[in-house]
């Protein structure tokens, strides 16, 4: 047994040996392989290490990059994604958007109250501008009414 592995890791190995279903055994072995990859060579070779391995590693970020690494895991920042999405809402002004759902209502103000018209599925709508309202983004159409920019309802 490697010195870098903990009680939890050995328990997973025992679980992989005892499980009868192939899915559970496959999942446990995949977890074990990932855990063994995370154990550094210094932890494997040292028997009495003075450094506490439970201390969290600092985050490393390359300059001018949207990728942040934490313990060799990569996280993509949502604000720099290719689709310009923030919490499910499009934030970029596109020339046109297409309706993805059966009906999409158009409203007279950006708070989406006072319904004016309704748009059908696959209908293309010209966009004049984008406005933020409590971290929810709205599109103003060329006709002057407001629709949501939620990615489940519209696409560019």
The reported pLDDT for the residue numbered 1 is 46
The reported pLDDT for the residue numbered 9 is 62
Percent with pLDDT over 90 in the chain = 38
**Residue 109 counted as domain residue:** yes
Q: Domain of 13?
A: 7-45
The reported pLDDT for the residue numbered 126 is 96
- Which of the two residues, 150 and 38, has the higher pLDDT score? 150
The reported pLDDT for the residue numbered 30 is 76
- Domains of the chain: total: 2
pTM of this structure:
0.48
Instruction: Kindly state whether residues 91 and 37 are assigned to the same domain.
Output: no
The reported pLDDT for the residue numbered 29 is 76
Chain-wide mean pLDDT for the chain? 74
Selection from 135, 137, 91 nearest residue 112 by Cα: 137
Q: What is the pLDDT of residues 104-125, one digit of tens each?
A: 999 999 999 999 999 999 999 9
């Amino acid at each position: 047994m490697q010195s870098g592995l903990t009680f939890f890791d050995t328990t997973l190995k025992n679980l992989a040996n005892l499980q009868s279903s192939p899915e559970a055994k496959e999942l446990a072995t995949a977890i074990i392989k990932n855990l063994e990859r995370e154990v550094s060579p210094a932890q494997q070779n040292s028997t009495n290490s003075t450094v506490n391995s439970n201390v969290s590693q600092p985050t490393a970020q390359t300059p001018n990059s949207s990728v942040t690494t934490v313990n060799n895991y990569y996280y993509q920042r949502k604000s720099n994604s290719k689709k310009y999405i923030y919490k499910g809402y499009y934030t970029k002004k596109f020339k046109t958007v297409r309706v993805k759902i059966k009906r999409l209502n158009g409203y007279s103000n950006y708070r989406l109250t006072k319904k004016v018209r309704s748009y059908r599925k696959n209908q293309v709508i010209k966009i004049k501008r984008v406005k933020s309202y409590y971290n929810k983004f709205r599109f103003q159409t060329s006709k002057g009414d407001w629709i949501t920019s939620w990615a489940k309802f519209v696409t560019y």
